[in-house]
Structure 1
Amino acid sequence: MTASNSSLQAVVFDWAGTVLDFGSCAPMGAFVRLFERFGIDITIAEARGPMGMAKWDHIKAVGSLPRVAAQWQQQFGRDFADADVDHLYEVFTPMNAAVVPDFADFIPGALETVSALRARGFKIGSTTGYNRPIMEVVSKIAAQGGFVPDNLVCAGDLAAGRPSPLMMYRCFADLGVWPPHTVVKVDDTGVGLEEGLNAGTWAVGVAISGNATGLSLADWLALTPAQQAECRAAATAQLKAAGAHVVIDSVADLLPVIDELNARLARGERP
Structure 2
Amino acid sequence: MNLFIRKEAYTGPVQAIVLDWAGTAVDFGCMAPAAVFVEVFREHGIDVTVQEARQFMGIEKKEHIRKICALETVKSAWQNAFGAHPGESDINALYNRTADMMVAAIVNHCDPIPAMMDAVETLRSSGIKIGSCTGYVREMMDVLVPGAGKKGYSPDAVFCSSDVPNGRPYPWMCYKNAIALGVYPMEAMVKVGDTIVDIQEGLNAGMWTVGIVESGNEMGLTPEDLEALPAGERARRVAAITQAFGQAGAHYVLKQPHDLPRVIRQINDRLAAGEQPMTR
Q: TM-score range by the shorter chain?
A: over 0.9
Letter in 2 for 1:221: E
2:145 is aligned with 1:139: yes
Residue matched to 2:96:
90
Q: Deviations over 1:161-196 (max 9, x none)?
A: 000011111111111111110000000001111111
2:203 is aligned with 1:200: no
Contact 1:208 1:235 in 2 (8 A): no
2:128 is aligned, of 122, 133, 136, to 122
Counterpart secondary structure, 1:102? coil
Pairs aligned (count): 270
Task: Name the CA distance, whole Å, in 2 between partners of 1:82 and 1:139.
Answer: 30
Letter in 2 for 1:84: D
2:34 is aligned with 1:36: no
Counterpart secondary structure, 1:19? coil
Residue matched to 2:217:
211
Length-normalised TM-score, structure 1: 0.96
Alignment of 1:106-255 (within 5 A): 106-255=112-261
Contact 1:108 1:252 in 2 (8 A): no
CA offset at residue 156 of structure 1?
A: 1.4
Residue matched to 1:76:
82
1:51 is aligned, of 57, 64, 68, to 57
Counterpart secondary structure, 1:204? strand
CA offset at residue 3 of structure 1?
A: 9.3
CA offset at residue 20 of structure 1?
A: 1.0
Q: Deviations over 1:130-161 (max 9, x none)?
A: 11111111111110111111111111111100
Contact 1:212 1:238 in 2 (8 A): no
Length-normalised TM-score, structure 2: 0.93
Tell which deviates more after alignment, 95-104 or 136-145: 95-104
Task: Name the CA distance, whole Å, in 1 between partners of 2:207 and 2:172.
Answer: 13
Contact 1:26 1:99 in 2 (8 A): yes
Kindly report the root-mean-square deviation, in angstroms, between the aligned alpha carbons of the 2 structures. Answer: 1.3
Counterpart secondary structure, 1:233? helix
Q: Percent identity?
A: 43
Task: Name the CA distance, whole Å, in 1 between partners of 2:139 and 2:79.
Answer: 31
Task: Name the CA distance, whole Å, in 1 between partners of 2:81 and 2:230.
Answer: 42
Gaps of 5+ in 1: none
Letter in 1 for 2:157: N
Letter in 2 for 1:247: V
Task: Name the CA distance, whole Å, in 2 between partners of 1:104 and 1:123.
Answer: 21
1:7 is aligned, of 9, 13, 29, to 13
Residue matched to 2:275:
269
CA offset at residue 104 of structure 1?
A: 2.1
Contact 1:19 1:251 in 2 (8 A): no
CA offset at residue 225 of structure 1?
A: 2.2
Counterpart secondary structure, 2:226? helix
CA offset at residue 83 of structure 1?
A: 2.2
Letter in 1 for 2:213: A
Contact 1:19 1:110 in 2 (8 A): yes
Letter in 1 for 2:32: A
Letter in 1 for 2:234: Q
Letter in 2 for 1:57: E
Contact 2:27 2:109 in 1 (8 A): yes
